[in-house]
């Protein structure tokens, strides 16, 4: 059987995401610690404790989702779950690119941090939601 991984994008976040994995797996703790070392962002605190308003800030959301996805990926790799392809939904593309060695871990984390900051800076203040338009004719 062939396996493919599809990594999530922004909108998949929730407070406490990844906490159970962090507590259960050393390799996940290493990923969270490495992301914090690279970015200077306490992504554990934001991901595990919130508050939701902070986690939902794009500058943190994207880094939190990437970190959890990389942690899950590392757990699967250590357990010999081998995949033949990887793809991502918007932000998730960066996880797939890191996984495929298009970007190094460090480069990918730095890119996602900057991507989130840029998107945060250029989003008008207010209560915004995402929308998708499908099947326009």
Grade residue 132 by pLDDT with cuts at 50, 70 and 90. Answer: low
Backbone angles phi, psi at 13, to 5 degrees: -80, 150
DSSP type of residue 84: S
Give yes or no for a contact between 116 and 62, defined as CB atoms under 8 angstroms apart: yes
Q: Read off the pLDDT band of 63 (50, 70, 90).
A: very high
Residue 110's pLDDT band (boundaries 50, 70, 90)?
A: very high
Residue 98 CA to residue 16 CA, distance in Å, equals 24
Task: Quote the pTM value.
Answer: 0.89
CATH placement of domain 4-121: 3.40.366.10
Alpha carbons 134 and 37: distance in angstroms, whole number:
40
44: tokens are 């554990």
**Residue 89, Cβ density class (10 Å: 0-12 exposed, 13-18 middle, ≥19 buried):** middle
Give per-residue pLDDT as tens, 22-58: 999 999 999 999 999 999 999 999 999 999 999 999 9
The CA angle 46-27-89, to the nearest 5 degrees, is 60
- Helix axis angle for 105-121 and 26-39, nearest 10°, is 60
Q: 69-109: per-residue pLDDT in tens? A: 999 999 999 999 999 999 999 999 999 999 999 999 999 99
């Amino acid at each position: 059987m062939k396996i493919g991984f599809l990594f999530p994008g922004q909108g998949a976040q929730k407070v406490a995401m990844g906490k159970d994995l962090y507590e259960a797996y050393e390799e996940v703790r290493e990923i969270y610690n490495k992301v914090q070392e690279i970015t200077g962002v306490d992504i554990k605190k934001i991901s595990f404790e919130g508050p939701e308003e902070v986690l939902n800030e794009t500058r943190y959301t994207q880094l939190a989702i990437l970190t959890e996805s990389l942690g899950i990926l590392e757990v699967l790799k250590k357990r010999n779950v081998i995949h033949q392809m990887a793809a991502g939904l918007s932000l998730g593309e960066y996880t797939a690119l890191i996984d495929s060695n298009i970007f190094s871990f460090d480069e990918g984390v730095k890119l996602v941090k900057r991507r989130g900051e840029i998107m945060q800076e250029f989003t008008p203040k207010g209560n915004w939601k995402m929308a998708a338009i499908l099947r326009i004719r």
